């Protein structure tokens, strides 16, 4: 079985694949102050709770946008899973041409998303990842990763209202029934949710106009399902897209049991 780990700024998405099938997935809060043993104990407990023997894990693949956590999770994989992980980094095979100014600056999670997106849904493609940041990643009909757009995530906007104002509360991020809020919480939900719906729809329109083509639009990340319900342009939600991409990247870059590099 293959263990996949996507470490973000606020959450860690982990999955276990048997062949092409995702058999288990977990989402944890991330923290750079945790040790490899703390993460390893959590991982051991998750596998044990699901009746999965450690010995069944034959490989691991890791991507993270938090560089200090790379050696931490390398140690976790080696010490607790008994396997050295493939780390998604510049130079990795992707099957796409990275038509951006500086490929080294691309977040590995964005690469994993578009690799999975093109495999599952075809090209041209736009992947919207609703994470700590809201990212829009674009692949042309010829398979070029063109870049995209990055906006603050919706949780950042919500927390900013709470932390930088004296009287506004922390709220639940749900779409209200009405744009006119008859109380503070409802008004904040209206401003944040309808504001982000407008942000998504406008950025999508601008990207599609520049692309000159009709792309598949896929949502992923923690709020993917919610925004798929309220933004008609989003055709499908797949919260596990990065994990699927990690599996595909692992398969592209393993040659005779060794990591492949271009």
Catalytic annotation, residues? 109
Q: Are 20 and 37 in contact (CB under 8 A)?
A: no
Q: Are 128 and 218 in contact (CB under 8 A)?
A: yes
**Residues contacting 31, CB < 8 A, separation 6+:** none
Q: Are 246 and 88 in contact (CB under 8 A)?
A: yes
**Pairing of β 144-152 and β 133-139:** antiparallel
Integer Cα distance of 183 and 9 in angstroms: 32
**Pairing of β 258-259 and β 21-29:** unpaired
Q: What burial class does residue 225 get, using C-beta atoms within 10 Å of its C-beta: 0-12 exposed, 13-18 middle, 19+ buried?
A: middle
Integer Cα distance of 147 and 185 in angstroms: 36
Nearest to residue 9, comparing CAs of 62, 88, 68, 75?
Answer: 68
* CA angle centred on 109, ends 103 and 110, rounded to 5°: 55
**Pairing of β 2-7 and β 11-18:** antiparallel
Q: Are 225 and 14 in contact (CB under 8 A)?
A: no
């Amino acid at each position: 079985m293959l263990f996949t780990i996507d470490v973000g700024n606020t959450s860690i998405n982990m999955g276990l694949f048997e062949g092409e099938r995702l058999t288990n997935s977990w989402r944890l809060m991330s923290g750079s102050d945790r040790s490899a043993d703390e993460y390893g104990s959590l991982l051991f407990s998750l596998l044990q709770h699901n009746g999965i023997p450690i010995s069944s894990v034959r490989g691991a693949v890791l991507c993270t946008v938090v560089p200090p956590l790379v050696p931490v999770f390398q140690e976790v994989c080696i010490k607790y899973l008994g396997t050295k992980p493939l780390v998604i980094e510049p130079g990795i095979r992707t099957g796409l041409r990275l038509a951006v100014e500086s490929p080294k600056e691309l977040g590995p999670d964005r690469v994993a998303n578009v690799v999975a997106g093109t495999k599952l849904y075809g090209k041209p493609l736009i992947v919207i990842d609703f994470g700590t940041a809201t990212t829009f990643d674009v692949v042309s009909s010829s398979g070029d990763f063109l870049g995209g757009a990055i906006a603050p995530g919706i949780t950042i906007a919500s927390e900013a209202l709470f932390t930088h104002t004296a009287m506004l509360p922390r709220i639940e991020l749900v779409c209200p029934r009405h744009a006119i809020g008859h109380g503070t919480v409802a008004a904040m939900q209206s401003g944040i949710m309808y504001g982000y719906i407008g942000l998504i729809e406008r950025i999508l329109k601008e990207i599609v106009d520049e692309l000159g083509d009709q792309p598949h639009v896929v949502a992923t990340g923690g709020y993917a399902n919610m925004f798929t319900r309220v933004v008609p342009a989003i055709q499908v939600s797949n919260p596990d897209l990065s994990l699927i991409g990690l599996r595909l990247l692992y398969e592209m870059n393993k040659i005779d049991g060794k990591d492949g590099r271009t």
